[in-house]
Structure 1
Amino acid sequence: MFTHEMIASFNELELTLYNYISKNSDKVAYMRIRELADETHVSTATILRFCRKINCDGFSEFKVKLKMHLEETKRTVINSPQHSITEFFERTLTGDLEEKINDAAKLIAEAESVIFTGIGSSGILAEYGARYFSSMGKFSVYIKDPHYPIHAKFRYNSVTIVLSVSGENPFTVTQVNQLKQEGSKVISITNNKLSTIAKISEINLAYYVTEEWFQDSNVTTQVPVVYILESIARKMKNP
């Protein structure tokens, strides 16, 4: 609800308001302007100026937006594990995923090295993928810093495996584009084939599961990613 630009524009009194609201948002959503002024020891004029800085015409509009924000953050849409996995198999394995796994395994088998990249939970799985592929005899590295310099000898005759649920993370897009321009072939594993990362990849493996959120956190299942990674590695070892 509060952007970085908004917070940076607050003066000392407005920061006092911001800090109070952040800690007591459930309470503030039902307070009158005079009550909030008394609790925070600021004037009603300061509160109205604060509201205008966060693009609200007045305190009433601010409370409406605050209530909507609270409802949004409390929203929980989490399916059972069985539902998510069944959805993956029904939607994906009836398509051409197996053929793409074979193509990816062949491309990787012909490469000298594999570079894994991803951010957040995708980064954790990228690290797992690098370890799993190395265990299968293919030299692999995991790059978690999108600005980390990658030596030319690792980029030469390499394959980059990029993991991203949305396929739109700007840091990952920039890194993948750089690696692609430097000659590394790109294999992406995303939740759909229409994302930016999917479109700039030589091979995209999309798993199509419903995105799930708990408050502000993306908790979409990553089981399909593990399945795809292990399937590629095993196909690479036993074509």
Structure 2
Amino acid sequence: MFSYEVVKTFTETEQHLYRFIMKNRDKVVYMRVRELSESTHVSPASIVRFTRKLGFDGFSEFKVQLKQEIRSTGKRKTADTVEVLEEFFERTLNRDYEKQLEEAVQMIAGASLVVFFGIGTSGILAEYGSRYFSNLKKRTFYIKDPFYPNPAEQFDNAVIIILSVSGETDHVIDQAQNMREYGSKIISITNTGKNTLAALSDINIPYFVTPEMIDRTNITTQIPVLFLLESIAKKTYNREYT
């Protein structure tokens, strides 16, 4: 994250931020922008510019990566789910989630079919999302098989909601490209906003939680995905029936 090439381009203010973060990494990952600003006497706007210079969308995404690096150098230990969710729900109040959700609702409301797709744990959530939307009177079905055939006429006027933690799984990308060719609109829910699936999507909703791996198995919490699916489903129902 802090390569020599990047560090050498830092301004005096950025060098000050860099030194503070390196000395207080364990504290910084739980700070808000305003708290870091007060501790370093650097404006929140300068902190956000600093994180974007490092290649992140903002401070929240920067903290996710910083926490991941801290964990990779220490003992392997699963994250406290409550802490992870507190961070997520704190961000939902600070990020422009409402606008993204409303855009997704508008797209779904105009569709005659909503298809959910995911693989592995995301496939289980795709099944859940399909059932939840169906309970709220939306015509849906789900796909958990990455090799599911896609006859074009089956997805006329459809929106596909694709769930993927990384947004980089080959089979997921292939399915997204197929759906795009058939004219389907794509809404993706991923852990970050910068990935291949997000780039292929009409709407991407990132949730930014700390990725977790145990013996090469991804155990990143999916509770934010459930929250987003249920929020979109209820907003769609309220738009169409109330």
TM bucket normalised to smaller: 0.5 to 0.7
Moved more, 187-196 or 210-219: 210-219
1:173 is aligned to 173
Give the superposition deviation at 1:209.
Answer: 0.4
- Matched to 2:195, the amino acid is S
Q: Following the alignment from structure 2 to structure 1, what is the Cα–Cα distance between the partners of residues 153 and 181? A: 15
Cα contact 2:78–2:212 (8 A) shared by 1: yes
TM-score by length of 1: 0.67
Q: For structure 1, list consecutive stretches of 5 or more residues without a partner in the other structure.
A: 1-71
Q: Which has the larger radius of gyration?
A: 1
1:105 is aligned to 105
- Matched to 1:208, the amino acid is F
Give the superposition deviation at 1:165.
Answer: 0.3
Pair 141,171 (structure 1): closer, same or farther in 2 beyond 3 Å: same
Cα contact 2:120–2:144 (8 A) shared by 1: no
1:227 is aligned to 227
2:215 is aligned to 215
1:198 is aligned to 198
2:36 is aligned to none
- Matched to 2:186, the amino acid is V
Q: Following the alignment from structure 2 to structure 1, what is the Cα–Cα distance between the partners of residues 103 and 77? A: 35
**1:108-160 deviation line (CA, Å, top 9, x unaligned):** 01100011111111111011001111111111111111221133343100000
RMSD across aligned C-alpha pairs, in angstroms?
A: 1.6
**1:2-54 deviation line (CA, Å, top 9, x unaligned):** xxxxxxxxxxxxxxxxxxxxxxxxxxxxxxxxxxxxxxxxxxxxxxxxxxxxx
Q: Following the alignment from structure 1 to structure 2, what is the Cα–Cα distance between the partners of residues 225 and 149? A: 26
1:115 is aligned to 115
Q: Following the alignment from structure 1 to structure 2, what is the Cα–Cα distance between the partners of residues 161 and 171? A: 15
Structure with higher RCO (Cα < 8 A, 6+ apart)? 1
- Matched to 1:147, the amino acid is F
Q: Following the alignment from structure 1 to structure 2, what is the Cα–Cα distance between the partners of residues 170 and 219? A: 19
Alignment of 1:32-47 (within 5 A): none
**1:158-190 deviation line (CA, Å, top 9, x unaligned):** 000000000000000001111011100000000
Moved more, 114-123 or 208-217: 208-217
For the residue of structure 2 that corresponds to 1:204, the secondary structure is: strand
Cα contact 1:92–1:208 (8 A) shared by 2: no
- Matched to 1:94, the amino acid is N
Pair 118,88 (structure 1): closer, same or farther in 2 beyond 3 Å: same
- Matched to 1:135, the amino acid is N
Q: For structure 2, list consecutive stretches of 5 or more residues without a partner in the other structure.
A: 1-71
Q: Following the alignment from structure 1 to structure 2, what is the Cα–Cα distance between the partners of residues 185 and 87? A: 30
TM-score by length of 2: 0.66
2:22 is aligned to none
Give the superposition deviation at 1:214.
Answer: 2.0
For the residue of structure 1 that corresponds to 2:114, the secondary structure is: strand
2:182 is aligned to 182
- Matched to 2:141, the amino acid is V
Q: Following the alignment from structure 1 to structure 2, what is the Cα–Cα distance between the partners of residues 109 and 93? A: 25
- Matched to 2:147, the amino acid is H
Work out the percentage of aligned pairs sharing the same amino acid. 48
Give the superposition deviation at 1:207.
Answer: 0.2
Aligned residues: 167
For the residue of structure 2 that corresponds to 1:160, the secondary structure is: strand
2:145 is aligned to 145
Q: Following the alignment from structure 2 to structure 1, what is the Cα–Cα distance between the partners of residues 195 and 77? A: 23
Alignment of 1:14-163 (within 5 A): 76-163=76-163
Q: Following the alignment from structure 1 to structure 2, what is the Cα–Cα distance between the partners of residues 154 and 117? A: 15
